[in-house]
Amino acid sequence: MLNLSKGWFFTGLLAFSVLLASISESMGRTFATIGTGGVTGVYYPTGGAIAKMVNEKRSDYDIRLSVESTGGSVYNINAVTSGDLEFGIAQSDLQSQAWNGAGDWEGRAQEKLRSVFGLHPEIITLVAAAESDIRTVQDLKDHRVNIGNPGSGNRANAIDVLTASGVDWENDLRAESLKASEAPRMLQDSRLDAFFYTVGHPNGAINEATSGRRTVRFVPITGLDDFVTEHPYYTVAEIPVDLYPMAENKEPVPSIGVVTTLITSEDVNEDTVYAVAREVIQNFDSFKTLHPALERLKREDLLRGLTAPMHPGAERAFREAGMMP
């Protein structure tokens, strides 16, 4: 009986020692989470790429970064500013609206919102059936065009482009309000003539749209230089058509877009934000290889689309890299 008691005693002691070691290892370590988007989209693997780089240096920074699949930009902005997430990925136009108290945040400026860095562009992509003879935005008049479901960033971007191009979306065309993921099948089934989709490339839905029996083309979105100047969360962009070999286009197609950005809160520790920004800046060439949407990224793109003030931790990292005065 005595021997059994001793056995249990030493087993308990060993378990307690392991627990203490685990607690000791965690003490002083910062745990942070990046809010991303759906697991099949671009946000989730992009967040994973950032986390991977930081976690490989956890012995240097004592930071453990994890990734959470979320509802996307609006959710991430709200979760970051409320303190439920330390970081989030969000479109630059929605970041601007949140900071200025517009859109979903009308009259409720998110003053704690801070920028970390910019990422890949999300290009306003206009896809049309070749047989429809739609070659400009103005040619959409009298056609069946999906502009996106109500409340979506996709719809807001489409309406901006149409309005800036002199097209009245409510009266000049037959506007549909489908989710972006439903539009490629509808186009291939001849139930749409064209659709808008604000997205990073490559994208599975765009690949589906361009790979069916019905030939499609990407329609240029041009002549909006003044509009982009007035709305700095938009940027000039090009659709890389080499990713979609079955599309009619053979050269990159000009458009405009927003920028995917990494955001945080003013309440997040400066050293934590510094570590995240520093790893991406210092290992930029490696970072670009972690997802196809990042391949065309340039170092200067990290400073684009930042419509909320930059977090001091990010500023420190950019200054050290000689990218800011």
Using the 3D structure, point to which of 258, 278, 311 is the last residue of a domain.
258
pLDDT at residue number 28: 61
**Is 142 within the bounds of a domain?**
yes
Using the 3D structure, point to which of 258, 279, 300 is the last residue of a domain.
258
CATH (domain of 16): 3.40.190.10
Determine the 3-state secondary structure of 119 from DSSP: strand
Cα separation, 296 vs 298, in Å, equals 7
pLDDT at residue number 21: 38
Query: Looking at the structure, do residues 253 and 167 belong to the same domain, yes or no?
Result: yes
Query: Looking at the structure, do residues 306 and 211 belong to the same domain, yes or no?
Result: no
- Long-range CB pairs of 160-164 (<8 Å, 24+ gap) are 160/227, 160/231, 160/234, 161/124, 161/126, 161/137, 161/196, 161/221, 161/224, 161/256, 162/137, 164/224, 164/227
Using the 3D structure, point to which of 207, 223, 258 is the last residue of a domain.
258
Query: Looking at the structure, do residues 253 and 127 belong to the same domain, yes or no?
Result: yes
Structural domain span for residue 184: 122-258
**Is 227 within the bounds of a domain?**
yes
DSSP conformation class of 103? G
pTM of the model: 0.76
Query: Looking at the structure, do residues 102 and 143 belong to the same domain, yes or no?
Result: no
Query: Looking at the structure, do residues 272 and 243 belong to the same domain, yes or no?
Result: no
Q: How many domains does the chain have?
A: 2
Residue 174: beta bridge partners? Answer: 144
- Residues 6 or more apart whose CB falls under 8 angstroms from that of 118 comprise 92, 259, 260, 261, 262, 301, 302, 303, 304, 305, 306
**Is 295 within the bounds of a domain?**
yes
- Residues 6 or more apart whose CB falls under 8 angstroms from that of 285 comprise none
pLDDT at residue number 153: 76
Report yes or no: 83 and 259 within 8 Å, Cβ to Cβ.
no
Query: Looking at the structure, do residues 223 and 203 belong to the same domain, yes or no?
Result: yes
Question: pLDDT tens string for the chain (325 positions)?
Answer: 445 454 544 444 444 443 433 443 444 689 999 999 877 678 888 999 999 999 999 889 999 999 999 888 889 999 999 999 999 999 899 999 999 999 889 999 999 999 999 998 899 999 999 999 999 999 999 999 999 888 677 888 999 999 999 999 999 999 999 988 899 999 999 999 999 999 888 888 899 999 999 999 999 999 999 999 998 889 889 999 999 999 999 999 999 999 999 999 999 999 999 999 999 999 999 999 988 888 888 999 999 889 899 999 999 999 999 998 8
For the chain, list the strands marked E by DSSP: 30-35, 63-68, 87-91, 113-129, 144-146, 174-176, 194-199, 216-218, 235-239, 253-265
pLDDT at residue number 104: 85
